[in-house]
Structure 1
Amino acid sequence: MLAMLEEPQRRMLLLGQRGPQAQSLLDLIQKLLDSFDLDNVRSFLVKILIELSKRSGLYPQRLVLLNIDIRGGQVAGGTFGDVWKGDLDGRAVAVKMMRVFDSRDVQALMKAQAVLWAQFSSPYVLPFCGVYCANGPSPRVCLVSPWMDNGDLPRYLKDNPKANRLQLMLDVALGLEYLHSFCSPVIHGDLKGVNILITPGLRACIADFGLSVIAQDSNVHFTATATSNGQGSTPWMAPELFDYSNPERRRKSCASDIYAFGCVGYEIYAGRPPFSELPPMMAIMQNLRLRRPASTDLGDAIWELIEKCRDTNLASRLPVSEVVQRLRCHPDTCNYELAPMSIWYQKTGTN
């Protein structure tokens, strides 16, 4: 099969399959990814899987969930969907119901995110339970993940002012490192506090992959998004993403994720989004510097790291591997206990 996919004509023939034939191929490729150590061809297979899913509108069958019981009302809203609490075989889950879009291209992109998310396996990235199709006049795709009682990062820090902020910042960096070092680098595209959840072991994991893309395959451009909480994503967006004169610079990248990470670092120590006291677009376009938070937990080294990640020159931003190294080398990092994260992931992960 791999030899066949390497030939452009046969590959295009495969990608042109629909219906039962496409479903069989999706199931076979997913089985290969699940069952074998395929590091040397994993990137290639993931790209084929996502592209076939986008074109056919189907998923590997193992991702489809049937017995979801949605309870109560909507509990949260995001850029691309609304979140409900549900039950899956006695386990609480978050059910993100995708909104109906007019554009078929956007719907196809969102379906592809489910297939991409299913390939992740990291304790610093929220596990993916599967896809559920909600019944109704207009059946909608739902993405299902474990429910996190501790909520998102801003809520957790508000309720727990003595939380270990450095540990949480390192957790986020490790999640971003995993995405950027995936078989093909994955751009999260919407990294911010509300898209980071706190696990039962009180560790941070990255969630909400509504904008994530495989870096070198992406030709999709995004503008500032709005969420139901009214904050939108603008305060976390790198300045080059607003360069309307240069479409190439407006493309989401590993560097724009690093900028967003720097903003998350500020959010962790300041307890608020960047430029919350100003119109964020104006502040970003004028290259205004953030005021250093008064937090006693914030040392010079971490503040320097935050500023370096938020450098207005994208070429000067640190690679995520160096961010992780600097955080790990911090004197307080040796006090971390990693076991709670491992235990949580083993109990709730789906891979």
Structure 2
Amino acid sequence: MPTRSVLPGVVIDQRAWPASGGGFADVFKVIYKGRNVAVKRLRFFAYPPSKEAELDGALCKEAIIWKHLEHPFVLPFMGVCILDPETGFKSTVSPWCDLGNLGRHLAGNKPLDVGKTLLQIAMGIEYLHSQNVVHGDISGNNVLLTDNLDVQICDFGLGKWQETSIVTGGSRATPGTVRYTAPELHRGERPTYASDVYAFACLALEICTRKVPFSGTETMGVASRVCRGDRPPCPEEILDQRLWDLIEECWSHQPDERPSTARVVATIQGWGVYLPECGSVSQE
């Protein structure tokens, strides 16, 4: 890891509780140089001790990729910090987003401009793909919101650690993302641009309905339904047939039948106007 990417003076109060977290890391809200930042620290205790150095190396590789990315709808990379000098393990540092993630915003039934949000997410993913980066974990939890309700895509690549040979020896979908996981990934294949497009379709459905895909199905049963070709039916909340047609194309069963993110962006832009604002949508 380049020395200039290591930020000195980042400290987490040992008594502080994480502001949020997932299956592989905790996120702490920290003040650094007068501004709020997010420090993501791996939960090394959750993995075999023999894998600690490998996980730290994976984080460094991801940070090196992240530091070269710059796009309005991709969360900026600030650097890494070393919270424990004894181990030297790294944690990533990025700007703090007060509004949290998109999934939480949707669950709170707060107003959202559907067209603007979909276009920004698509543009962010298109940029990642143009930089040869497969996100691999697109969901509402990995899209943060700025004060202006602009999106900030985060955790590209980081979420795959739990599904890779570093930890498990194979590939698998985690419970938190299984509802956005393409059928080929359920069969053990690696994430691709096409699987990101599939996940985008699932997230688009969630944005319109305020419900996760297959909301009426237990998580354990989702993978089998997806693999046999089942998809959620068109809901009443879809306010534009063009959007539903795009969703269906994006979650096609065959990866090569899904559009590129560049075409997804061009399609949404081609509609000329944003879709209606998504406000008080029923969660019944």
Please state which band the TM-score falls in when normalised by the shorter chain.
0.7 to 0.9
Q: Decide whether the 8 Å contact of 1:221 with 1:252 is kept in 2.
A: no
Unaligned runs of 5+ in 1: 1-58, 214-219, 227-231, 245-249, 337-351
Distance (whole Å) between structure 2 residues aligned to residue 335 and residue 301 of structure 1? 13
TM-score (norm 2): 0.84
Distance 1:256 1:113 in 2: 19
Matched residue, 1:272: 211
Match of 2:34 in 1: 90
On the 8 A contact 1:99/1:140 being kept in 2, the answer is no
Distance 1:146 1:129 in 2: 7
Residues 124 and 221 of structure 1, relative CA distance in 2, 3 Å threshold = farther
1:335 Cα offset (Å)? 10
Instruction: Tell me which residue corresponds to 1:291.
Output: 233
Q: Is 2:135 the counterpart of 1:191?
A: no
Alignment match of 1:256 (pick from 158, 180, 195)? 195
Q: How many angstroms apart in 2 are the aligned matches of 1:332 and 1:79? A: 38
More helix, by proportion = 1
1:307 offset after TM fit, Å?
A: 1.1
Determine the C-alpha separation between the residues in 2 that align with 1:302 and 1:221: 35
Q: Does 1:203 align with 2:144?
A: no
Higher relative contact order (CA 8 A, sep 6+): 2
Residue deviations 1:77-105 (CA, integer Å, cap 9, x gap): 12421111101101001110012143243
2:235 maps to amino acid: P
Write out per-residue CA displacement over residues 12-33 of structure 1, whole angstroms, 9 at most, x where no aligned residue.
xxxxxxxxxxxxxxxxxxxxxx
Superposition pairs of residues 303-342 of structure 1, within 5 angstroms: 303-333=244-274
Once the 2 structures are TM-superposed, how far is the Cα of residue 136 of structure 1 from its aligned partner? 7.3
**Rounded Cα–Cα distance in structure 2 between residues aligned with 1:106 and 1:64:** 17
Give 1:55's aligned residue. Answer: none
CA distance in 2, matches of 1:315, 1:221: 24
Specify every segment of 5 or more residues in structure 2 that has no aligned partner in the other structure, as ranges. 162-168, 278-284
Q: State the match for 2:180 in structure 1.
A: 236
* Aligned match of 2:113: 164
Contact kept in structure 2, 1:77 and 1:83, CA below 8 Å: yes
- Name the CA distance, whole Å, in 2 between partners of 1:144 and 1:221: 29
Q: Is the 8 A contact 2:78 2:94 kept in 1?
A: yes
Q: CA deviation at 1:242?
A: 2.2
The runs of 4+ residues in structure 1 deviating greater than 6 Å are none
Alignment of 1:1-351 (within 5 A): 59-70=1-12, 72-100=16-44, 101-102=47-48, 103=51, 104-135=53-84, 140-159=89-108, 161-182=110-131, 185-209=132-156, 210-211=158-159, 222-226=171-175, 232-244=176-188, 250-278=189-217, 279-295=221-237, 298-333=239-274
Native 8 Å contact 1:86 1:94 kept in 2: yes
The structure with more radius of gyration? 1
Shift of 1:162: 2.9
Q: Secondary structure at the match of 1:119?
A: coil
- The alignment of Structure 1 onto Structure 2 pairs a total of residues equal to 259
Q: 1:119 to 1:105 in 2, by over 3 A?
A: same
Report if the CA contact (8 A) 2:113-2:276 is conserved: no
Normalised by the length of structure 1, the TM-score is: 0.69
For the residue of structure 2 that corresponds to 1:201, the secondary structure is: coil
After TM superposition, give the deviation of residue 135 of structure 1 in Å.
Answer: 2.5
Query: What is the RMSD computed on CA atoms of the aligned residues?
Result: 2.3
Question: What CA distance in whole angstroms lies between the structure 1 residues aligned with 2:275 and 2:187?
Answer: 41
Which whole-Å CA distance do the structure 2 matches of 1:138 and 1:60 have between them?
Answer: 17
